[in-house]
Amino acid sequence: MKITPLSNVMGAEVTGVDLSKPLSASDRDELYQAFLQHLALCVRDQRLEGVGAFLDAARNFGQPKVQHLESYRSDQYPEAGVITSEDRDVKDGKRIIRGTMFHTDESFIAEPPKATVVYAVTIPSKGGNTRYVNLQKAYETLDEATKKQIDGLMAIHYYGKQRPGRKVPSLTDEQLKNTPPVAHPVVRINEETGAKALYVHETMTDYILDMDRSESEALLRRLYDHSAQSPEFQYSHEWRTGDFVIWDDRATLHAATADYAENEKRLLYRTMIKGGPTHQHAAIGRRAA
């Protein structure tokens, strides 16, 4: 097995591994440690025959979880979904490229996934990269006064938040009812490495608890701009067919890029690895005024 960094920011390429076969315990451990260290791994040149084989490969990193929202789930395997250039919005039926705003997966539930795993089946000839942000670096480079200000703060994440002019896939009324607001720490500590990361993103973070609404908005805007607008924290993954990529949802944001030709196909299998609580006390406090 060879592990080579993909950039100075995050991510590593892995070659010499065949995920269609059971791994030895030492190879599995080496891969897992590399995942924790680099926050994203791309295992090249995989040949996984179907969603079942993909899920088996993903199990090397933990237990795949059932996707919270039924839309875009695989019928046969509720832990898996398929991202395709044919995706349609559940409400208006229009073609949609999902996940184009920087986000971390399912932060709108109380126990968000630890990681997301994606396998590239068909890739357009040009474009369709996935872009990542290293939220540990974003946290580390904040000034000391801001670190002091945000350590210990909690923020509400909510799928149904107002996002003027921004598009995320619609939810049915039933799905929205089953997806109430949840609280997470603004600075998330990785329970496996102890590393701190900013854990806010414009797609799902609504407001900071126990803070005046305008103060909350100004602080969040500053944190969003610091993290998601700075190229120095970003890595853009150019997909190759057969790439098996896992990234750490506790410490990264990601976004799809809607820049490929409409007549070209893009098809990826996707699952998320079960996570745990983001903090000890998940009670939701009062809404910002």
Q: How far is the CB of 63 from ligand SIN (least distance, A)?
A: 19
Asked if 60 interacts with ligand SIN (CB under 6 A), we say: no
For the segment 101-130, give every residue that binds ligand SIN (CB under 6 A): 116, 130
Tokens 């490229």 sit on residue: 97
153 or 258: whose CB is closer to ligand SIN? 258
99 or 185: whose CB is closer to ligand SIN? 99
85 or 136: whose CB is closer to ligand SIN? 85
- Out of 6, 12, 83, 228, name the contact with ligand SIN by CB under 6 A: 83
- Out of 62, 64, 99, 185, name the contact with ligand SIN by CB under 6 A: 99
Q: How far is the CB of 131 from ligand SIN (least distance, A)?
A: 8
Tokens 């098809």 sit on residue: 267
Other beta carbons within 10 angstroms of residue 22's beta carbon come to 11
Asked if 256 interacts with ligand SIN (CB under 6 A), we say: yes
Q: How far is the CB of 108 from ligand SIN (least distance, A)?
A: 13
For the segment 214-233, give every residue that binds ligand SIN (CB under 6 A): none
Asked if 64 interacts with ligand SIN (CB under 6 A), we say: no
74 or 130: whose CB is closer to ligand SIN? 130
- The radius of gyration computed from the CA coordinates of the chain, to the nearest angstrom, equals 18
For the segment 235-254, give every residue that binds ligand SIN (CB under 6 A): 254
Q: How far is the CB of 85 from ligand SIN (least distance, A)?
A: 10
113 or 185: whose CB is closer to ligand SIN? 113
158 or 269: whose CB is closer to ligand SIN? 269
Q: Is the Cβ–Cβ distance between 126 and 135 less than 8 Å?
A: no
Phi and psi based region of residue 43 (left: phi greater than 0; alpha: psi -120 to 50; beta: remaining): beta
For the segment 136-195, give every residue that binds ligand SIN (CB under 6 A): none
The alpha carbon of 283 is separated from its chain's Cα centroid by a whole number of angstroms, namely 24
Chain residues binding ligand SIN by CB under 6 A are 83, 99, 116, 130, 254, 256, 270
